Amino acid sequence: MDLGIKGKVAMVTGGSRGLGRQIAMTLAREGCDVAICARSVEGLQPAVEQLVPFKGRAIGVQADVTDDASIARFYEETVKTLGPVSILVSNAGGTRGGRDFATTTDKDWMDTLNINLMSAVKLTRLVLPGMVERKWGRVVSVSSIFGREHGGALSYMTAKAALIAFSKHMALAYAKDNVLFNTVAPGSIRFPGGSWDRFSTTNPPAVVKEFIDRNLPMGRFGWPEPIGETVAFLCSDRADLITGASLNVDGGQSRSLF
């Protein structure tokens, strides 16, 4: 199925590994010109090289999405090299510091909110005027099922819930401009170097099996490819009536009916 996004310029944060890398590869396969960013320069070039065979243009920019100057540089390098941005995928995220109320400092709260929520807000502020002017834009943010129901660290859960709320509000505000905002909520996805990979390799097999049996109906951790496909679909012309949605991609892991 032709998604109708060939030649569109896409920005993907946290694009050098894991879900971000898979999302970037899927968009490149669909014909997008893709810019990725990451804090570490080491993983950028290998990730960009994976995008090149899809025949589109691709660049990697070293940028920390919690730093305003880095965010601006990522956007400016993308526009200068690839052109006006039509697709933004805010994928960078994680937990900083403590995991419960007693151990989470004010700095932990702000750091976690900055990487998960404010990076998306600030990048949206940069790309949105052009999308509105051209009457076409897609903004997809990677949240989590733990932004929809209980699970994970307190600050992470709060930040991901806020990201969903931000996207819903923006979706209604800019629907008339054909700028669509959605979130994808992955479940427990395993990829090299990710948190579930660390969990699986550092815990006894019996502990890992118990977690899988208790939480994952498919009997295994999720994998990145379905996340990439879902994001690409939401970025496409084929999803032009979907805005303000949060789609679980979790193999049935979620317990909420909403």
How far is 122 from 150, CA to CA, in rounded Å? 27
Joined tokens for residue 242: 């979907």
Ramachandran sector of residue 4 (left: φ over 0; alpha: ψ -120 to 50; beta: rest): left
**Is the C-alpha dihedral spanning 180, 181, 187, 193 positive or negative?**
positive
Catalytic residue among 74, 136, 146, 156: 156
174 counts as catalytic: no
Tokens 């009916």 appear where? 257
| Token pair for 128 | 């949105």
Alpha-carbon separation of residue 155 from 42, 77, 167, 203, 223 (angstroms): 29, 32, 18, 24, 24
Could you give the residue numbers annotated as active site?
A: 156
